[in-house]
Amino acid sequence: MSTAKVDMNSVHKDYCQALKREKIRVAVCAGLGCIVNGALKLYDALEAEIKAKGIYADLSYLLEDESNSGCSVVKTGCQGFCEAGALIRIEPAGLVYIHVKPEDAAEIAERTLLKGEIIERLAYKAPYSDKAVAERNEIPFFSGQKQIVLRNCGIIDPSDIRDYIAHDGYLALQKALKEMSRDQVIATVIDSGLKGRGGAGFPAGRKWAFAKAEESDTKYMVCNADEGDPGAFMDRSVLEGDPHSIIEAMAIAGYAIGASHGYIYVRAEYPLAVARLKHALKEARDNGLLGNDILGSGFDFDIKIKEGAGAFVCGEESALLASIEGKRGMPRPKPPFPAQKGLWGYPTVINNVETLASVPLVILRGAEWFSSCGVGRSTGTKTFALSGKVRNTGLVEVPMGTTLRDMIFKIGGGIRDDKRFKAVQIGGPSGGCLTEEHLDLTLDYDSLAKVGAIIGSGGLVVMDEDTCMVEMARFFMHFTQSESCGKCVPCREGTKRMLEILEKIVAGKGTMEDLELLDEVARMVKDASLCGLGKTAPNPVLTMIKYFRDEYLAHVVDKRCPAGQCQAFKSYYIDPELCKGCGKCSRGCPAGAISGKPREAYGIDTEACLKCGACVEMCPFGAIGKGDGPKSKEDNERNG
């Protein structure tokens, strides 16, 4: 296909007609999580079985002859339900099978594809229920979602531009180039209320308007795909599962602001995303959707990929631009803002992956359609990486305004092992910690700001009763301190001092003066740091001190860890009534702190004990416990 002089509506119609002859589509999740669980072997097995039964038909086959029909099997991007991989989706029946293995392929082909039967052992079962649910819309993980950003992930083949076009791909670009002025495109994005999904939440359309207003022959459009938050994989999943949506959005934005050059800044640790992006860019160029005179409109635009080295600070826009220019990734003072003076001194718009993924539907369906979803000034949807001590981990997209309770207990399936919910860290290391009292809080920019948290890039780490909040704060501070670029003193030295204090507290050496100093330094870092990353680095510490002060006081005053996690506060003992004198604990102790005679109760030298817990794992009788003295065997086993 060469679309330079072709009406995309006609091309789209041809591909749609071909897909209508596709009786069944078996979509195999080929996100990284499912690949690890054998998805590629599963794909090969399913393809072989379908071909053996004579019902196979791919898109090329369906396009060759209008009389052709059959069943296709495609490798898709992440389907979201990472806890259940490897995963397949069967359309148009709307079925989902979980924990599928290559050896299940023959039964799936015979029973489901040929006979229409549901294989219950591959269907989802809710906790404490024997009822098998295969219909995607009835599985709680999926039923509470609304997918705009992830609309194509999990259903299209990201390596085939024809599949993207058949699912309304590049129709928005044609509409923008052929039916709308640059001002109309920007006005539509402004009216939609679309805000930047990278963390700051700045209105995307206003940023475009600022860049368009600048007088310059050269402008740049940049996609920020430098996703550095621990546990976050939203942007990576979009790039892997729907790369053409980002290319189309960047071309629309380039047209709107008057840019002819684009960059996708993606970390090199995403090799699959980079590979699929490169392939998609080639497809777009080969089909006249990038390059000169796109769709015969006279508009020229092309995109390059810049692979980053994984520095967290390069998620900050001015540091990102410095990295593209070949400099060390460090932020600079603003103003001027990138929209005024960005890449190589030229006006530059930077949007993150998720923001851009919404743009084609905003243009195609209109501002009112997009703004009808969400709440207040937070319109549209937001993707979250749901992880931690929750049953259903994975990638989730929900309307703005969804409550934390629905996210964790409906979509997430509740807390693992029937533990008690304790807290959730939202927004990654730059976000904040929320508690049980916030479960009915709506997830939107304004509501979270009121409680000292931010949506950030969308990480949600759920914690249960066994989580130590002081140690969690230390973990996040260790990350942000090690990732500080070191340019400004408040962040470079302040985060270092905060980390030292937190390490002192978890080591059992903290004082009330340390706790007061921690709060003081955190507020200084928040107020005085140069860039947004430094200003938000203290958020986890400040919110955890606010909502879990009693836990901090327990560490500092009572010299104990209520969650029983901090090594410094652990003490081990051997209950002489339960000890059989087998000596396994002594042989397994790396410090030689346990001694005794065979068939007599052993003892622990508390001064030599490393508090590593190896003895607890070695003891077959539950005789070793943590705390002040002997308890029942059941208590020892539970506490150990």
pLDDT exceeds cutoff 50 at 516: yes
Beta strands in 469-564 (DSSP E): none
Q: What is the mean pLDDT of residues 280-289?
A: 95
In degrees, to the nearest 5, what angle opens at C-alpha 293 toward C-alphas 292 and 296?
155
328 and 431 belong to one structural domain? no
pLDDT exceeds cutoff 80 at 352: yes
Boundary of a domain, candidates 558, 593, 609:
558
pLDDT given at position 280: 97
Cα–Cα separations (whole angstroms), residue 162 to 158, 168, 268, 606: 10, 10, 27, 68
Q: Tally the domains of the chain.
A: 5
Report residue 266: phi and psi, to 5°: -130, 140
Report residue 582: phi and psi, to 5°: -75, -25
pTM, entire model: 0.89
Of 248-257, 298-307, 456-465, which range is least confident? 456-465
How does residue 58 score in pLDDT terms, banded at 50, 70 and 90? confident
On whether residue 159 sits in a domain, the answer given is: no
State the Cα–Cα distance between residues 513 and 504, nearest whole angstrom: 12
Boundary of a domain, candidates 321, 354, 371:
371
**CB of 258 within 8 A of CB of 215?**
no
pLDDT given at position 627: 66
397 and 292 belong to one structural domain? no
Task: Please give the residue that has the higher pLDDT: either 304 or 231.
Answer: 304
Can you tell me which residue has the tokens 């209520």?
562
On whether residue 6 sits in a domain, the answer given is: no
Report residue 297: phi and psi, to 5°: -95, -10
**CB of 404 within 8 A of CB of 443?**
yes
324 and 189 belong to one structural domain? yes
186 and 310 belong to one structural domain? yes
On whether residue 151 sits in a domain, the answer given is: no
Within 140-233, residue ranges assigned H as helices are 140-143, 161-166, 171-179, 182-192, 204-213
> CATH number for the domain including 38?
3.40.30.10
**CB of 77 within 8 A of CB of 280?**
no
pLDDT tens per residue across span 577-595: 999 999 999 999 999 999 9
Q: Order of strands, edge to edge, in the sheet holding 88-91?
A: 70-76, 22-29, 88-91, 95-97
pLDDT exceeds cutoff 70 at 635: no
Q: What is the mean pLDDT of residues 292-315?
A: 92
Question: What number of CA atoms fall less than 13 Å from residue 489's CA on the CB side?
Answer: 1
State the Cα–Cα distance between residues 511 and 442, nearest whole angstrom: 37
580 and 526 belong to one structural domain? no
**CB of 141 within 8 A of CB of 406?**
no
pLDDT given at position 9: 82
**CB of 264 within 8 A of CB of 247?**
no
Q: Which of 49, 56, 32 is closest to 104 using CA atoms?
A: 49
How does residue 14 score in pLDDT terms, banded at 50, 70 and 90? confident
Boundary of a domain, candidates 427, 446, 464:
464
pLDDT tens per residue across span 23-35: 999 999 999 889 9
206 and 345 belong to one structural domain? yes
Quote the tokens at residue 133. Answer: 């649910």
> CATH number for the domain including 626?
3.30.70.20
Can you tell me which residue has the tokens 């509409």?
175
> CATH number for the domain including 212?
3.40.50.11540
**3-class DSSP state of 624:** strand
The amino acid at 43: Y
State the Cα–Cα distance between residues 208 and 189, nearest whole angstrom: 9
398 and 456 belong to one structural domain? yes
On whether residue 158 sits in a domain, the answer given is: no
Cα–Cα separations (whole angstroms), residue 402 to 180, 286, 443, 566: 34, 41, 6, 34
191 and 288 belong to one structural domain? yes
Quick one: what percent of the chain has pLDDT higher than 70? 97
On whether residue 409 sits in a domain, the answer given is: yes
pLDDT given at position 6: 60
pLDDT given at position 403: 95
On whether residue 82 sits in a domain, the answer given is: yes
120 and 236 belong to one structural domain? no
Total residues belonging to the chain: 640
How does residue 636 score in pLDDT terms, banded at 50, 70 and 90? very low
Quick one: what percent of the chain has pLDDT higher than 90? 75
Domain carrying residue 616: 570-639
Q: What is the mean pLDDT of residues 383-398?
A: 94
Q: Order of strands, edge to edge, in the sheet holding 348-352?
A: 302-308, 261-267, 220-225, 348-352
Q: What is the DSSP string of 576-597?
A: TTT-----HHHHH-TT--EE--
On whether residue 146 sits in a domain, the answer given is: no
262 and 280 belong to one structural domain? yes
How does residue 314 score in pLDDT terms, banded at 50, 70 and 90? confident
Q: What is the mean pLDDT of residues 67-77?
A: 89
Q: What is the mean pLDDT of residues 236-265?
A: 97
On whether residue 9 sits in a domain, the answer given is: no
The end-to-end CA distance of the chain, in Å, is 65
500 and 589 belong to one structural domain? no
63 Cβ neighbours under 8 A, 6+ residues apart: 14, 15, 18, 162
Q: What is the mean pLDDT of residues 189-212?
A: 92
Cα–Cα separations (whole angstroms), residue 245 to 151, 152, 378, 519: 10, 9, 22, 44
Instruction: Tell me the β-bridge partners of 260.
Output: none
> CATH number for the domain including 533?
1.20.1440.230
How does residue 356 score in pLDDT terms, banded at 50, 70 and 90? very high
User: Average model confidence (pLDDT) for the chain?
Assistant: 91
> CATH number for the domain including 421?
3.10.20.600
Q: What is the mean pLDDT of residues 194-206?
A: 89
359 and 410 belong to one structural domain? no
